[in-house]
């Protein structure tokens, strides 16, 4: 038996078919970002019953989210990340946190300089250094 799949959208917006489909896909992408904020950043429940406290938590969450998105953007663009099964267009926030933020390292102060050492066995170390250099502008 042939498999039949039907996608149908009803609207009174007066848009073209291509615009409606693009809007539907953009809505799905927006829901994915919303899901990342809630699950990956652990903001499923707000910590307080006070509006101003929760507003501050959301403001700080969005700031951290945007910083992590910038790091994820540069981690894809540098090309030094470990190989994946499929081409990557963007990194999820959880991937950025697990592989680039929680990267094991060692800081050493010697002769008035601070030296950062990263383990050679970590596959993400070169990507971390490339992202650091890209963001720092060097």
pLDDT value at position 24? 86
Q: What is the mean pLDDT of residues 106-124?
A: 91
* SS3 call for 42: coil
Mean pLDDT of 7-16: 85
Residues 40/65, Cβ–Cβ less than 8 Å: no
pLDDT band at 90 (very low <50, low <70, confident <90, very high): confident
pLDDT of residue 128: 92
Q: Which residue, among 127, 18, 121, 12, has the nearest Cα to 78 in the 3D structure? A: 127
Q: What is the pTM of this model?
A: 0.76
pLDDT at position 2 is: 81
Residue 138 has pLDDT above 80, yes or no: no
Question: How distant is the alpha carbon of residue 64 from its chain centre?
Answer: 10
Can you give the length of the chain in residues? 138
Work out the number of other CB atoms within 10 angstroms of the CB of residue 72: 21
- What's the whole-number mean pLDDT along residues 103-125? 90
In this predicted model, which residue has the larger pLDDT, 119 or 114? 114
Q: Three-state DSSP class for 107?
A: strand
Whole-number pLDDT of residue 122: 86
70: left (phi over 0), alpha (psi -120 to 50) or beta: alpha
């Amino acid at each position: 038996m042939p498999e039949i799949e039907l996608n149908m959208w009803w609207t009174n917006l007066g848009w073209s078919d291509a615009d409606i489909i693009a809007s539907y896909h953009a809505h799905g992408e927006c829901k994915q970002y919303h899901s990342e904020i809630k699950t990956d950043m652990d903001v499923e429940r707000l910590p307080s019953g006070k509006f101003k406290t929760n507003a501050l938590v959301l403001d700080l969450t969005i700031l951290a989210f945007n910083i992590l998105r910038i790091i994820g953007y540069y981690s894809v663009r540098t090309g030094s990340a470990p190989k994946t099964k499929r081409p990557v267009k963007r990194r999820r926030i959880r991937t950025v946190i697990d592989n680039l933020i929680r990267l094991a390292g060692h800081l050493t102060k010697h002769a008035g300089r601070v030296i950062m050492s990263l383990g050679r066995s970590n596959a993400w170390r070169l990507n971390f250094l490339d992202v650091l250099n890209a963001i720092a502008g060097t």
